[in-house]
Chains A and B, each alone.
Chain A
Amino acid sequence: MEKKDGFLIRFYAVLKYEVLWHLRKKKVLGIMILAFGLATLSLALPVVLGNMYNRPIEPDPDRITSISMFSGELWYFLLAIILGMNSISGEFESGTIIPLLTKPISRTLVFLSKMASTLLIMIGTYIFLFTYLTLGNILLYGPQNNLHLISLQLIGNILSTLVWVSIVFAIGSVTKSSQMAALGSFGIWLGLNLIVGIYALFTGDTWFLTYFPGGGQTGYLKVEGSPIPTAGPQIKTGTGSIAENLVTLALNPSAIVNFIRFEIGGGEGIKILEVYTETLSYVVSRSFIVAIVYVFLFSFIAWYALKRAQISD
Chain B
Amino acid sequence: MEIPIEIENLTKKFGSITAVKNATLKVEPGSIHGFLGPNGAGKSTTIKILLGLLKADEGKAKIFGKNALDGSPEIRQNVGYMPELPKFPKHLTGEELLELYGQMYGVPKDEIKKDIPHLIELVGLSGREQNKIGEYSKGMQQRLGIAQAMINDPELLILDEPSIGLDPVGMVEIRNLLKSIAKEGRTIFLSSHLLNEVQQICTHITIINKGSIQASGSLSDLRNGLSLEPSIILEVLNLNDNIVEAVKTIPNVKDTVVDGQRLRVNLNTREDVRSLVSQKITSMGGVIIEMNQTIETLEDVFLKLVTKPER
Contact = CB atoms under 8 A, between A and B. Distances in A.
B10 to A, nearest CB: 15
Contact of A5 (B81, B86, B106, B148): B106
Given A9-B108, A94-B89, A312-B48, A102 B83 contact: yes
A3 B78 contact: yes
Contact of A20 (B73, B87, B92): B92
A10 B89 contact: no
B241 interface: no
A6 B53 contact: no
Interface string B49-77: 00111110000000000000001111111
Given A1-B115, A1-B153, A103 B87 contact: no
Given A3-B105, A10-B104, A25-B91, A99 B73 contact: no
A6 B89 contact: no
A267 interface: no
A104 B75 CA distance: 7
Chain B interface size, as a band, is 35 or more
Contacts of A7: 106
B91 A104 contact: no
A102 B81 contact: yes
Given A4-B108, A5-B106, A6-B106, A104 B55 contact: no
A311 B105 contact: no
Contacts of A25: 91
A29 interface: no
Nearest to B101: A103
A303 to B, nearest CB: 14
Given A3-B105, A6-B108, A105 B53 contact: no
Interface residues of A, number: 34
B108 A96 contact: no
Interface string A174-204: 0000000000000000000000000000000
Nearest to A23: B91
A150 to B, nearest CB: 34
Given A13-B100, A104-B74, A312-B48, A99 B148 contact: yes
A4 B107 CA distance: 6
Contacts of A4: 106-108
Nearest to A307: B71
B103 interface: yes
A94 to B, nearest CB: 6
A106 B91 contact: no
A149 B75 CA distance: 50
B111 interface: yes
A24 B115 contact: no
B266 interface: no
A24 B48 contact: no
B152 interface: yes
Grouping DSSP codes into helix (H, G, I), strand (E, B) and loop, the B interface class, with mixed when no group exceeds half, is: loop
Nearest to B158: A102
A104 B156 CA distance: 14
Interface string A109-125: 10000000000000000
Contact of A106 (B73, B89, B96): B73
A99 B86 contact: yes
B106 A10 contact: yes
A311 B53 contact: yes
B111 A1 contact: yes
A96 B88 contact: yes
Contact of B54 (A3, A9, A107, A311): A311
A1 B152 contact: yes
Nearest to A309: B53
Nearest to B81: A102
A20 B153 CA distance: 25
Contacts of A94: 87, 89-90
Contacts of B71: 107
Given A4-B108, A25-B91, A311 B48 contact: yes
B8 to A, nearest CB: 21
Contacts of A20: 89, 91-92, 96
A101 B106 contact: no
B86 A21 contact: no
Contacts of B100: 13, 16-17
Contacts of B85: 95
B45 to A, nearest CB: 8
A13 B88 CA distance: 15
Interface in B238-259: none
Given A13-B100, A20-B92, A103 B54 contact: no
A312 B145 CA distance: 17
A6 B107 contact: yes
A-B residue pairs, 6 tightest by C-beta: A6-B106, A13-B103, A95-B87, A24-B91, A103-B104, A311-B53
6 contacts: A13-B101, A20-B92, A24-B91, A25-B91, A104-B105, A105-B104
Given A3-B78, A312-B45, 12 more contacts: A3-B105, A3-B107, A6-B106, A10-B105, A12-B103, A17-B89, A94-B87, A95-B86, A96-B89, A102-B52, A104-B75, A310-B55
